């Protein structure tokens, strides 16, 4: 990858720490900042690298100059192979195609990084991920992956896959790099947002890893620590008030014009999980305040008001599988 070779001329000189990488555009800035602050709070030695999917996100992060946050312009990650498939992919598909390339983007920029963890931008940490790394270290393996751990009523393993591309750790070893390169090639070949021929985005490929790379891939056993809309109700029914996740994956949360926020869609979230969303909204407001202080504005789409979509939202609200709120203040 030419761009990465150019960027790998030396270490950044950053202090040793636990390195994470994510990617997002300017519309995900508030979520990305919430992720960053929660990571710093619970793992002070964390370093977060961000692949900026557009110039607005790059400009904003450079303007903010946050400690231990390292913006990487998209053009510095895009190889000839990536640029060749870019015109054939939707925006979502291209984001997923990029994911397997993010780890090497970090390795190329800091030779002192011994492992890097890809995390989705819509995660929020409620506890330190050190317990996940401890389990990984005890396994002695090279790659860490997490299961969706679906509740029975939401099991989408057949289409979306057993594993979730939300938190994946790779050591800087030849064995781990072989897995990364295999994943890169598969995503270059196909990264469809519609399940087809046993494939789905960048994610369904992970189902093959225990078979192909079982001697180097560890499957996280502590599934109760990686929570999401598709399992939070089931876990709370089992553990009641004993739920203490490392992170929550705010899948489906979206922001719209006029400070409208869709909290989730397609899942029934019990009232006992309201504190999770309240905590996230508090972090988002903190992020909004920071953006407004630096005069960083964000453009969001309006709600789809077509009769079909309005009817769908009404149906989901009636079934209690979708929730909305009005944000108190935001830079849009």
User: What's the confidence (pLDDT) of residue 329?
Assistant: 73
Q: pLDDT per residue over 119-165, tens digit each?
A: 999 999 999 999 999 999 999 999 999 999 999 999 999 999 999 99
Extents of the domains making up the chain: 2-226, 245-326
Given pLDDT bands bounded at 50, 70 and 90, which one contains residue 16?
Answer: low
Give the chain's length.
332
Would you state the pLDDT for residue 331?
A: 66
Please provide the CATH number assigned to the domain covering 2-226.
Answer: 3.90.550.10
pLDDT tens track for 27-63: 999 999 999 999 999 999 999 999 999 999 999 999 9
Question: Residue 149 has which token pair?
Answer: 């751990």
CA gap 27, 297 in Å, rounded: 10
Q: How many CB atoms lie within 10 A of CB 244?
A: 11
Residue from 226, 248, 219, 20 nearest 136 by CA: 219
């Amino acid at each position: 990858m030419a761009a990465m070779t150019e960027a790998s001329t030396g270490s950044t000189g950053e202090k040793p720490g636990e390195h994470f990488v994510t990617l997002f555009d300017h519309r995900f800035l508030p979520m990305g900042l919430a992720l960053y602050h929660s990571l710093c709070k619970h793992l002070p030695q964390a370093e977060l690298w961000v692949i900026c999917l557009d110039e607005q996100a790059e400009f904003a992060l450079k303007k903010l100059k946050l400690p231990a946050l390292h913006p990487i312009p998209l053009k510095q990650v895009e190889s000839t192979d990536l640029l060749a498939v870019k015109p054939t992919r939707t925006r979502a598909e291209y984001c997923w195609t990029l994911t397997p390339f993010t780890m090497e983007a970090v390795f190329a920029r800091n030779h002192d990084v011994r492992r890097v963890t890809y995390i989705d931008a819509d995660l929020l940490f409620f506890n330190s991920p050190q317990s996940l790394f401890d389990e990984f270290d005890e396994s002695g393996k090279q790659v860490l992956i997490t299961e969706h751990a679906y509740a029975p009523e939401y099991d989408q393993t057949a289409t979306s896959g057993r594993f979730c591309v939300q938190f994946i750790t790779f050591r800087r070893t030849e064995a781990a790099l072989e897995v990364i390169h295999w994943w890169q090639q598969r995503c270059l070949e196909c990264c469809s947002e519609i399940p087809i021929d046993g494939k789905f985005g960048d994610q369904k490929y992970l189902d093959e890893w225990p078979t192909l790379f079982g001697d180097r891939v560890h499957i996280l056993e502590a599934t109760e620590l990686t929570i999401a809309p598709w399992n939070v109700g089931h876990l709370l029914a089992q553990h009641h008030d004993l739920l203490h996740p490392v992170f929550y994956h705010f899948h489906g949360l979206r922001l719209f014009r006029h400070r409208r926020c869709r909290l989730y869609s397609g899942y029934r979230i019990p009232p006992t999980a309201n504190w999770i969303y309240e905590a996230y909204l508090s972090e988002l407001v903190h992020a909004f305040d920071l953006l407004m202080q630096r005069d960083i504005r964000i453009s969001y789409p309006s709600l789809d008001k077509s009769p079909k979509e309005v009817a769908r939202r009404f149906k989901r609200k009636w079934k209690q599988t979708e929730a909305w709120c009005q944000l108190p203040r935001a830079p849009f």
